[in-house]
Amino acid sequence: DAGVTQSPTHLIKTRGQQVTLRCSPKSGHDTVSWYQQALGQGPQFIFQYYEEEERQRGNFPDRFSGHQFPNYSSELNVNALLLGDSALYLCASMKYSEAFFGQGTRLTVV
């Protein structure tokens, strides 16, 4: 059983560009959350998707948007990239209580 998979693993973008990150949840999991982890910090909640709808959102600007597909996979889109958006972006999937994380996408904005 594959766990949570994220793509790409690493990404370098220029300030002002747009980026799309992808996540495939663990088999049977219907809820996907996205987190941003800055270097040396704990993950910060961006938003959560369930039944293809955004259910809850953390303190992130509208430049951060997402989508969940009928197969439960998800995308995170970030527009107008800033240098401060450089971080590890983590996807977590869950069915009931336990959240399982992917290996993350390391985004570097230059």
Partner 1 sequence: QQQVKQSPQSLIVQKGGISIINCAYENTAFDYFPWYQQFPGKGPALLIAIRPDVSEKKEGRFTISFNKSAKQFSLHIMDSQPGDSATYFCAARVDSGSARQLTFGSGTQLTVLP
Residues 22-41 that bind partner 1 (CB under 8 A): 31, 33, 35, 40-41
How far apart CA 16 and CA 27 sit, in angstroms, is 35
Binding-site residue total for partner 1 (CB under 8 A)? Answer: 26
Q: Which of 56, 77, 79, 108 binds partner 1 (CB under 8 A)?
A: 56
Residue 7 — φ and ψ, nearest 5°? -145, 150
> Which residue, 4 or 81, has its beta carbon nearer to partner 1?
4
How far apart CA 65 and CA 47 sit, in angstroms, is 9
Q: Which two tokens stand for residue 67?
A: 């989508």
Q: Which of 85, 102, 107, 109 binds partner 1 (CB under 8 A)?
A: 102
Find the shortest distance in angstroms from Cβ 33 to partner 1: 7
Specify the DSSP class assigned to residue 55: E
